[in-house]
Amino acid sequence: MDLPGLPVSCTCVRIPTLRAHAEAITIETEKPVDLDRAYAVLNSSPGVAVADDLSANVYPMPLTATRKYDVEVGRVRKNDVFGERTLPSPLFYDLHTVSDNGLDLFVCGDQLLRGAALNAVIIAEEVCLK
């Protein structure tokens, strides 16, 4: 993405799995998030496989990410923390703050196939092409 100043907050989720890592990621954006555009970017990104159909129980999981080079991405949704604005609260009859300037997603990948070593090779290949 070539955005070294992009603020990103990650939570690593470590559970006993054979060879996969998972992270919950929160991204703060400068502009309101368009979920359709976010999905389009994710679907067109090399090394990413969108797994996000909650009605069919399809989301990133260590079991389904194992033995794949691509990282599974899912549970994509707007984050209500960033870029605050005040709206009437439906529950408490007062004001509450919501936002469209953030994105949450969950990723899961095979740590042996798509870990530091493969990423280093991909970066080296890109550098050699330039």
* Cβ–Cβ under 8 Å, residues 21 and 113: no
pLDDT in tens, 77-121: 888 667 665 555 555 555 555 568 889 999 999 988 887 678 788
Q: Comparing 9-13, 36-40, 51-55, 71-75, which segment has the lowest mean pLDDT?
A: 9-13
What tokens appear for 116 in the block? 């530091």
Average per-residue pLDDT for the chain: 81
Distance CA(130)–CA(115), nearest Å, equals 23
Q: What percent of the chain has pLDDT over 90?
A: 34
